[in-house]
Amino acid sequence: MANTKEDKANSSNRKRRAKPKKSLQRYYDSEHGIRNHWWPGLFSYELKEDDVKGITIAGERIGLRRANGKVYGFRDQCVHRGVRLSQQPTCLTKKTVSCWYHGFTYNLKDGKLCDIVASSNDPLIGRTGIRTFPVKEYCGIIFVFVGDEDFKTPPLTDDLPFKLPKNEPLRAPCIQDKDALALGIHRECIGDWRLAAESGGDPGHIMIHRNSALVLALDIALSLGEPVSGVDSMLIRDEKWPKGVTKYFDNIEPVMHRDDLNIHTYGKTPPYGLRVSLCLPAILFVENWPQPGMTQYEWYVPVKKGYHQYWQVLVKNCPDEMAKEDFTMRYKNAWEDLALKDGFNDDDIMAREAQEDFYNNRNGWDEEQLFSMDQFVVEYRKMVHKHARGVQPPPDKL
């Protein structure tokens, strides 16, 4: 029987979908994440003294333990039967972590198997172990370097957004500032980490926020878009680390209403000093947001295929205890819900989830049709393709 028109069309679509991406191939190959980079793992307050907690970053199962105030990172998998050590934390000394199953005990500093509760003179002791991960605590966040054991660990500041000079016009707080206070949340969300990063920095999606509670409460006039989009309002920063792309909004003509489409913004106060940057490995920071004198940071941490940890952090410079107490009070009673959850960013989570099927089940990476305002996203893809220090393999290849 001859093929129907529908069969021929489906066959044509399959052939079209099978065409591989040639340019930016490393970016399209990085569905499991990029490696040899620093990622946030936990807030410092989430890991108390003698706690052991397990996290997953880019398929790597990592255990974190705080002992004598210091945080250690190790592979969260016993070499014996492969159970996660964090499933039932067992710490018999300040220098070790033990498996709850048979008592395989590992040195926190180097990961070597130093004892077995069930067999103290076993010949396996000293001949094997679990790998360790570099860890840094910075501004109340525990960062983990995920990558090759023999890779020279770069400074954490290489993987934080660029620190702006003090004389930068309309300068907002930086997480690297001496008196910066960072408060926020993190949660696991459906969606490829790349889609999350692209959506966060996407300058053309603001229309989904035009009636958000935050926008209405602060009477913010968010532009629906730009009449002409191009590279003139972007700055590419790729000469040294940190690397990223910045979008400026103070030199473009905003679109506040489209009478022909019967859509308009609701607020009356344009954002003051708003700039959006997307940096490697996958960090968004929005200056002077949600109001002048604050900065919002977002990390999109790969967990496993189709899932990411969404980190949302507000930073404000607080030079004394009174300023810290005031910002903490306002964060807990207003900003967390209004800026980071239902009032604004939950709209972004919904939009990312809506893309997941198209990109990861229906070959959206080949089928997408980008428009001019997506140049910001394209520049980030180029940045990852060119400068990422490695591509994370699937979990079964780790």
In a domain, 112, yes or no: yes
The label of the residue with tokens 């506040």 reads: 256
Q: Which of 45-49, 110-114, 266-270 has the lowest mean pLDDT?
A: 266-270
Looking at 73, 103, 135, the residue that finishes a domain is 135
Rounded percentage of the chain residues whose pLDDT exceeds 90: 77
Q: What is the pLDDT of residue 232?
A: 64
Tell me: pLDDT of 344 over 90.
yes
CB-based contact 354:210 (threshold 8 Å): no
Shared-domain flag, residues 155 and 124: no
Q: Which of 152, 132, 161 lies closest to 144, judged by CA?
A: 132
Same domain, 299 and 339: yes
How far is Cα 26 from Cα 31, in angstroms, rounded to an integer?
10
83 pLDDT above the threshold of 70: yes
One domain, residues 253 and 155: yes
Enter the tokens of residue 182: 């960072």
* Residue 183: strand, helix, or coil: strand
- Output the pLDDT for position 9: 45
Top pLDDT among 248 and 325 is at 325
Domain that holds residue 118: 37-135
Determine the pLDDT at residue 229. Answer: 55
User: Does 315 map to a domain?
Assistant: yes
- Torsion angle in degrees (nearest 10) through CA of 7, 13, 392, 384: -170
Q: Which has more confidence, 168 or 247?
A: 247
Q: How confident is the model at residue 255 (pLDDT cuts 50, 70, 90)?
A: confident
In this prediction, residue 172 has a pLDDT band, given cuts at 50, 70 and 90, of very high
Q: How many helices (H) and strands (E) does the chain have?
A: 8, 19
Within this chain, do residues 161 and 100 fall inside the same structural domain, yes or no? no
Query: Is 4 a residue whose pLDDT tops 90?
Result: no
User: Hey, what are 106's tokens?
Assistant: 């590992």
* pLDDT grade for 237, boundaries at 50, 70 and 90: very high
* pLDDT classification of 22: cutoffs 50, 70, 90: low
Distance separating alpha carbons of residues 362 and 360, to the nearest angstrom: 6
363 Cβ neighbours under 8 A, 6+ residues apart: 17
Whether 361 is covered by a domain: the verdict is: no
- Tokens describing residue 67: 């002992």
Answer yes or no: is 201 within a domain: yes
Grade residue 99 by pLDDT with cuts at 50, 70 and 90. very high
Paired strand residues for 137: 142
157 and 56 both lie in a single domain: no
| Bridging pattern class, strands 275-279 and 104-107 | unpaired
Instruction: Say yes or no: 54 and 112 in one domain.
Output: yes
Q: Is 194 helix (H, G, I), strand (E, B) or coil?
A: helix
Is 24 within the bounds of a domain? Answer: no
Is 17 a residue whose pLDDT tops 80? no
Let me know whether 129 and 174 are in one domain: no
Question: Do 65 and 90 touch, CB atoms closer than 8 A?
Answer: no
Q: In the prediction, which pLDDT does 204 show?
A: 86
Q: In terms of domains, do 200 and 323 share one?
A: yes
pLDDT of residue 20: 46
Q: What is the pLDDT of residue 106?
A: 98
Q: Judge whether residue 390 has pLDDT over 90.
A: yes
Q: What CATH number is given to the structural domain containing 87?
A: 2.20.25.10
Nearest CA to 313 among 154, 146, 187?
Answer: 187
Q: Classify residue 71: in a domain, yes or no.
A: yes
pLDDT band at residue 21, thresholds of 50, 70 and 90? low
Neighbours of 294 (CB within 10 A): 21
Using the predicted structure, report yes or no on whether residue 16 has a pLDDT greater than 50: no
Residue 307: inside a domain: yes
Average pLDDT value for the chain: 91
Question: Are both 189 and 245 inside the same structural domain?
Answer: yes
Q: Output the pLDDT for position 163.
A: 85
Question: What is the per-residue pLDDT for 396?
Answer: 83
- Residue 341 belongs to a domain: yes
CATH number at residue 181: 3.90.380.10
The tokens 């090759």 sit on which residue?
Answer: 148
327 shares a domain with 181? yes
Tell me how many domains the chain contains: 2
Boundary-marking domain end, from 83, 107, 135? 135
Contact between 191 and 352 under an 8 Å Cβ cutoff? The reply is yes
Residue 397: which pLDDT band, with cuts at 50, 70 and 90? confident
Whether residue 244 has pLDDT greater than 80:
yes
Instruction: Give dist(CA 360, CA 207) in Å, integer.
Output: 25
Cβ distance 175 to 161 under 8 Å? Answer: yes
Instruction: Look at residues 105, 135, 165 and tell me which one is the last residue of a structural domain.
Output: 135
Q: What is the mean pLDDT of residues 69-95?
A: 97
